[in-house]
Chain A
């Protein structure tokens, strides 16, 4: 029973993340035209998974979401940027959430999601530099970090309320883990 419930939560989170990514990828790029530049709303799902489910599950959701996004949008090149960036940012958020937010409350979820957003951009730009073979792309990083602050703040706020409500729901129905 426990496993079934966990699987349902996992697949629901993947589905929500996928929809957010599809909606986001059909929006025009507002700020700069960079390969893989996105607002990163699907970080909401991954951060929720980190808080509620744990390390392994959040990485699994990040990988599944990136793979399914390719199937859904048909944009094959995006996986070269999206997959490493998704995994890297999930790992960074895990580290910061477990060490600096849960144990010692240095950052709230807002800080953790800003770190995730920035590391997502960093990994994406690094992949773009490797694939396109042009180091000058790093010059976009400061501007992207500024955008990350805004989207990261928003993502953190949303995740805060989502997890607050979901935690109650989970407690009523018993432990997932």
Chain B
């Protein structure tokens, strides 16, 4: 009942979809500009663009909540030093791609990589 043409069609759609998904993923990761956003207690502390071939840059975050040393380079961002006890953010290592986030709860610090400010999120106008 299922014909050869059906099978070819199904196979073709799967292959094209998977290829397109890979293509889109690469496009999102490479073309968009990446920014590192450092936030303390929910408020933006500093925003730096990640550019290719940039010198590693160290940013000291000193606030009432504690001290962190954040290092930004062309690949990504990591927390080098932290004044908190558990140092979970240091252990997490380097984050590289969009949407990843480093959190230091005792110091109320978050470091995340975001894309362009023009958000592409679709809200649910209708179903």
Q: DSSP class of A's interface residues: helix, strand, loop or mixed? A: helix
A111 and B3 in contact, given A35-B126, A77-B125, A118-B13 (Cβ under 8 angstroms): yes
B interface residues with partner A (beta carbon < 8 Å): 1-3, 5-6, 9-10, 13-14, 16-18, 20-21, 24, 28, 120, 122, 124-127
A interface residues with partner B (beta carbon < 8 Å): 25, 29, 33-38, 75, 77-78, 81, 100, 105-108, 110-111, 114-115, 118, 128, 132, 134, 136-137, 139, 141-143, 145-146, 148-149, 153, 160
Contact of A114 with B13 in the complex, beta carbons under 8 Å: yes
Closest to B3 in A: A108
Which of B2, B20, B127 is A108 in contact with, Cβ under 8 Å? Answer: B2
Q: DSSP class of B's interface residues: helix, strand, loop or mixed? A: helix
Closest to A104 in B: B5
Give every chain A residue within 8 A of B6 (Cβ-Cβ).
107-108, 110-111, 114
Contact of B126 with A75 in the complex, beta carbons under 8 Å: yes
A35 and B24 in contact, given A143-B17, A145-B13, A160-B1 (Cβ under 8 angstroms): no
A-B contact count (CB 8 A): 79
Which of B5, B13, B17, B21 is A106 in contact with, Cβ under 8 Å? Answer: B5
Give every chain B residue within 8 A of A115 (Cβ-Cβ).
9
Supplied contacts A77-B126, A107-B5, A149-B10, 11 more A-B pairs, CB within 8 Å: A34-B122, A107-B3, A108-B5, A111-B3, A111-B6, A132-B122, A132-B125, A137-B122, A139-B24, A145-B13, A153-B10
A145 and B3 in contact, given A29-B127, A78-B126 (Cβ under 8 angstroms): no
Which of A37, A110, A141, A153 is B127 in contact with, Cβ under 8 Å? Answer: A37
Give every chain B residue within 8 A of A35 (Cβ-Cβ).
122, 124-127
